[in-house]
Structure 1
Amino acid sequence: MKFPFRLLCCAVVMLGAGCATQPHASQQNAASASAAAATQAPAPLLLISIDAYRADYYDRGLSPTLEMLAKTGVHADSMQPSFPSLTFPNHYTIVTGLRPDHNGIVNNTMFDAQLGKFSLGNRKAVADGRWWDEGTPIWVTADEHGLRTATMFWPGSGADIHGHYPDYWKPFDDHITADQRVDQVLAWLDLPQGQRPTFLTLYFDAVDHAGHKYGPHSPQVNEAIRHVDAALARLVQGLQQRHLFERMNIIVLADHGMASVPLANNVMMDKLIPLDHVRPVSFGIVAGFNPKPGYDFAAIERQLEQPQKHMRCWDKTRIPARFDYGHNARVPQLVCLADVGWRITTTDYAASHKGHISVGEHGYDNTDPRMQALFIAHGPAFRDGIRFHAFPNVDVYPLMTHLLDIPAAANDGSYQAVEGMLKPGMR
């Protein structure tokens, strides 16, 4: 079923050979070896994340490079994030095909009885593969099947997961500019054939930062959209100069969207329960609490599971099934979800962070239109200029393993749900 990829590569090799002069015997042997390698190598795949690029940002007309990719490729109406619609859980979902409850990255901030605390700023925890080993990211499987991989930032890529790192990777550094990130990807593609990666990732965070600081409808978000699109134009130009643009598959997506949150829209948790009677795990859009010995946690749950203004709370065993969330041991015993446009915080935090509170947020109900994410794909495997239906982000993983001609690990996605975006001969 996967042989058309090999035939395509072989055709390219044969076309080039037909234009060449007759080689010497040694050159013929080298060419034969190169052709044999080409018949086994899938087209390179580049996975690009524009963090928090909400699906409808595309309609603002500020992304000419994305528009070009969409007009000559596939543009989905939207891609639905997994719950919670947060950065680390969804980036790991995309590369494992497992929802956060199954991949173990259940929040940006977590507690594990054996491992302790995890947060985005905790570099030691982020680099500890034990946090990530409930899933198998695609770069691990690719490595196991002889493909080289490279990640220009991706959650989990700086950890030893099941004994593997990407062949090339960079520790996250938000001081590295968008253009520098692009140039690093191009430099990896300039490596000799035996060292060159077949699967690569590229990550941009400017749109997310602007959305948090200024809100999704701000001029600053529009400027960030333009900035990232310019970096994508630099990438496309670099690929064209290397004669790679039409030979590699490119997927551009986002992890989630963004919603406006007025500064005054706070649910003050300390005014509802005595916080010293619980063990808080996280605040924000998804707040979590574990029992604290010596206190009646069941009574606190009964109180918060009653209808609340601007949020809903559940014991983890009673979280609605549609969220696919609550079975993992890292999910706190009590989970509270803010209504869209609200945040869950405390009086002390709100007072001490005046001027530093995000007016744009995500993490909300993953079905909300403001949480929906971008998806565009372009390359030799994808159909030309089609609009595709919305789909959940777990389906990206089996699509990518198909493109790389490697077996998929157990996952929650469906290749059949997205194979329609591929050309018939590539399915």
Structure 2
Amino acid sequence: MFASTGLALAVLSLAACAPLQNRGNRSQLLLVSFDGFRWNYDQDVDTPNLDALAREGVKARYMTPAFVTITSPCHFTLVTGKYIENHGVVHNMWYNTSTGQKLPYYNTQGVSKWWDNGSLPIWITAQRQGLKTGSLFFPGGNATYQGEQVNVKKVESLFHKYNNETEWMQNIDTVMKWFVQDNLDLVTLYFGEPDSTGHKYGPESQERKDMVSQVDRAVGYLRKRIKENGLNSTLNLIITSDHGMGTVIKENEIFLKQVQNFSFQDIQFELLDYGPNGLLVPKEGKLEQVYQALKNAHPKLHVYKKEEFPRKFHYANNTRITPLLMYSDEGYVIHGRFKVQFNKGEHGFDNENMNMKTIFRAVGPAFKKGLEVEPFESVNIYALLCDLLGITPEPHDGSLKVMQPMLSGYPDPVAGSGALSPHSKKLQLVTGLTLVLGLWLGIY
């Protein structure tokens, strides 16, 4: 009997380690990000396609992004499941505090050492577990991680025009080809709007509203192409964003050059003039002097020593963060030596501000229909992505439990049934094998 039990356990162990999905009948996953899509942008614009997606799938009331609420750090949280201080992509720009060198957003996309900082994004994790992945313009998708790149990728050109609707449709067609012809399992697709329009014209402008209509048309075209390619029953689609957008207040601006008792001659390195955030390295022996000069310089400015930065932000505990860091209240930007910021809209503010909240929509065979869920943090999306792909995640800061109520394999508060998620299918398989083997071996 003990030998029979051992055999049963051995067989079950092999079953438990088997791939969660049959490669011939697996589900595929498309993660789409519309940069800077504030949580309520669909409330003052007619968005029939986003509305249909919510009716036929899952909608979150809103999603809370990671702090600092800027593009590259927040996108890397989506694909690693880590707070920014834990994945280390702390800014849109690569910088070197010793030499003073800085690289803009576009160039930083190609600096692998900035991204490859000990955290593996989901593309590489999935590939190491036998899946094929692709990235189209997605932040971080152009880097090399521990010697490995995304299987298939498309990178935007320098001075890329993000609002070209014709190109949007072409990119959607490219992604469909990747799924149907190239047999990819996971694709991440990035659009640089409505962020660019929100920056230039402001989040309350007619131009932003028009851009949201363009986004909605793109969602409609995407879903149309999914159906035409016969992917409705196999493709799970998630549409989200990195952060929201707030209106810039021009009055009573924060201008560090005008602060009494503060001098840039006391600063070794600065990263300023990129919205409401700032990083400073004072010269040796000058930290306390600079801190005292700045901490009460403006009622809308918050200045901290690195070790005193609020823990709730999960941002400062990283070697890349400078000894002094600051952020401003919503609506205010930080000017350094000269006033070079002229945007009417900005992000980077406290992630608890409602204007920094963003969207989450999901539809596909794994998701319930017509469900609105309570708000959650973006750090939880990674665990959901791994579950949908049936892969084992890397260590992360999120929780699959937070996301499970939206999956069709989990009952809602009243009642629920339907298709099982990959992990539920695996559990069902192992349970069935246990019963069959037990009966065969006389254990039960």
- Per the shorter chain, which TM-score range? 0.7 to 0.9
2:147 counterpart of 1:163: yes
In the alignment, the residues of structure 2 paired with residue 133 and residue 383 of structure 1 have an alpha-carbon distance, to the nearest angstrom, of: 35
Which residue of 62, 68, 77 corresponds with 1:93? 77
2:279 counterpart of 1:288: yes
| Contact map agreement 2:383 2:399 (CA 8 A) in 1 | yes
Q: Which residue is 2:402 aligned to?
A: 417
In the alignment, the residues of structure 1 paired with residue 99 and residue 245 of structure 2 have an alpha-carbon distance, to the nearest angstrom, of: 31
Counterpart amino acid of 2:379?
V
2:390 counterpart of 1:405: yes
Offset of residue 3 of structure 1? 9.5
* CA offsets 1:12-34 (integer angstroms, 9 cap, x no match): xxxxxxxxxxxxxxxxxxxxxxx
Q: Which residue is 1:80 aligned to?
A: 64
Q: Percent identity?
A: 29
| Contact map agreement 1:62 1:222 (CA 8 A) in 2 | no
Q: Which residue is 1:364 aligned to?
A: 349
In the alignment, the residues of structure 2 paired with residue 268 and residue 366 of structure 1 have an alpha-carbon distance, to the nearest angstrom, of: 23
Counterpart amino acid of 2:55?
K
| Contact map agreement 1:54 1:373 (CA 8 A) in 2 | yes
In structure 2, the gaps of 5 or more residues are 1-15, 410-419, 425-444
In structure 1, the gaps of 5 or more residues are 7-35
Offset of residue 331 of structure 1? 1.1
Q: Which residue is 1:10 aligned to?
A: none
Alignment of 1:245-284 (within 5 A): 245-272=232-259, 273-278=262-267, 279-283=269-273, 284=275
Q: Which residue is 2:9 aligned to?
A: none
2:333 counterpart of 1:343: yes
Counterpart amino acid of 2:237?
I
* CA offsets 1:271-322 (integer angstroms, 9 cap, x no match): 12201211212332111101224x5221111232347321110001000111
In the alignment, the residues of structure 2 paired with residue 206 and residue 113 of structure 1 have an alpha-carbon distance, to the nearest angstrom, of: 31
Offset of residue 394 of structure 1? 0.4
| Contact map agreement 1:265 1:343 (CA 8 A) in 2 | no
Distance 1:275 1:62, change over 3 A: farther
Q: How many aligned positions are there?
A: 389
Distance 1:189 1:331, change over 3 A: same
* CA offsets 1:317-351 (integer angstroms, 9 cap, x no match): 000111112111111211111110101003x532x
In the alignment, the residues of structure 2 paired with residue 2 and residue 44 of structure 1 have an alpha-carbon distance, to the nearest angstrom, of: 21
In the alignment, the residues of structure 2 paired with residue 310 and residue 116 of structure 1 have an alpha-carbon distance, to the nearest angstrom, of: 27
* CA offsets 1:246-287 (integer angstroms, 9 cap, x no match): 421000001000000033352001112201211212332111
Counterpart amino acid of 1:156?
G
Offset of residue 192 of structure 1? 8.3
In the alignment, the residues of structure 2 paired with residue 305 and residue 139 of structure 1 have an alpha-carbon distance, to the nearest angstrom, of: 42
| Contact map agreement 1:189 1:196 (CA 8 A) in 2 | no
Aligned partner of residue 304 in structure 2, secondary structure: strand
Alignment of 1:5-404 (within 5 A): 6=21, 37-39=23-25, 42-112=26-96, 117-121=101-105, 123=107, 125-134=108-117, 135-173=119-157, 174-175=160-161, 177-190=164-177, 195-272=182-259, 273-278=262-267, 279-283=269-273, 284-293=275-284, 296-306=286-296, 308-346=298-336, 349-350=338-339, 353=340, 357-404=342-389
Counterpart amino acid of 2:199?
H
TM value normalised by structure 2: 0.82
Distance 1:136 1:191, change over 3 A: closer
Distance 1:148 1:276, change over 3 A: same
In the alignment, the residues of structure 1 paired with residue 133 and residue 99 of structure 2 have an alpha-carbon distance, to the nearest angstrom, of: 28
* CA offsets 1:67-121 (integer angstroms, 9 cap, x no match): 1111110000111011111111000110011111111111223534589745434
* CA offsets 1:41-73 (integer angstroms, 9 cap, x no match): x31100000111100112224321111111110
| Contact map agreement 2:279 2:326 (CA 8 A) in 1 | yes
Offset of residue 231 of structure 1? 1.5
Distance 1:117 1:147, change over 3 A: farther
Distance 1:45 1:322, change over 3 A: same
In the alignment, the residues of structure 2 paired with residue 249 and residue 142 of structure 1 have an alpha-carbon distance, to the nearest angstrom, of: 16
Distance 1:37 1:81, change over 3 A: closer
| Contact map agreement 1:140 1:164 (CA 8 A) in 2 | yes
In the alignment, the residues of structure 2 paired with residue 2 and residue 237 of structure 1 have an alpha-carbon distance, to the nearest angstrom, of: 37
Q: Which residue is 1:18 aligned to?
A: none
**CA RMSD for the aligned pairs?**
2.3
| Contact map agreement 2:76 2:139 (CA 8 A) in 1 | yes
Q: Bigger shift: 232-241 or 77-86?
A: 232-241
In the alignment, the residues of structure 1 paired with residue 376 and residue 253 of structure 2 have an alpha-carbon distance, to the nearest angstrom, of: 32
Distance 1:144 1:2, change over 3 A: closer
Structure 1 ranges of 4+ moved more than 6 A: 1-5
Distance 1:50 1:3, change over 3 A: farther
* CA offsets 1:222-262 (integer angstroms, 9 cap, x no match): 01101111122111111111111342100000100000003
Q: Bigger shift: 332-341 or 181-190?
A: 181-190
Q: Bigger shift: 371-380 or 157-166?
A: 157-166
